[in-house]
Amino acid sequence: MGTPRIDFYVLPETLPPLRFACTMAAKARSQNLTVHVHAASRDDAVALDDLLWSFSDISFLPHALVDDPDHAARCPIVLGWEGARPARAAVLINLSEAIPDFVAEFERVVEPVQPLPGPRARARDRYRTYRERGWELYHHDLEGREASA
């Protein structure tokens, strides 16, 4: 496997990262790709789990928490967190402020960036680290428009 493509998305203030993760998971699923969402904590993953149930009125995004072995192995979207082994997937949506140790196992990495000074500075650090590794980086500025990327 080659190196992953890393896409940074600067979010508008009105778009919470969890909602953006739902949008990106739906887009990946529309392309028949599997998704692992990496949250900072199990509580964040559970909040995303709740949001995915109500995200769309007209469709369902099949998903499971990584610690639910009966469902995680069969679901195309798996929600994990720091310290939990990721599901095998094509796309990683990183909601953590750190680069996961397993990031190189994915074809594509989605890095949402909140437009707040602290989170934006940590995203810049991740960007520099990825660039130092020589990975393919892309920047998408969604501030001022809705995320349809």
CATH of the domain at 111: 3.40.50.10110
pLDDT band per the 50, 70, 90 thresholds, residue 56: confident
Q: Which domain holds residue 20?
A: 5-141
Q: Whole-number mean pLDDT of the chain?
A: 90
The predicted model gives 94-108 an average pLDDT of 95
Are the CB atoms for 55 and 61 separated by under 8 Å?
yes
Which pLDDT belongs to residue 149? 38
* Any domain includes 148: no
Are the CB atoms for 6 and 109 separated by under 8 Å?
yes
The predicted model gives 1-28 an average pLDDT of 92
Among the listed residues 85, 82, 70, 88, the one whose alpha carbon sits nearest the alpha carbon of residue 33: 88
* Any domain includes 146: no
Cα diameter, the chain = 42
Residues in the chain: 149
The predicted model gives 123-144 an average pLDDT of 92
Query: Percent of the chain, pLDDT > 90?
Result: 71
Q: How many domains does the chain have?
A: 1
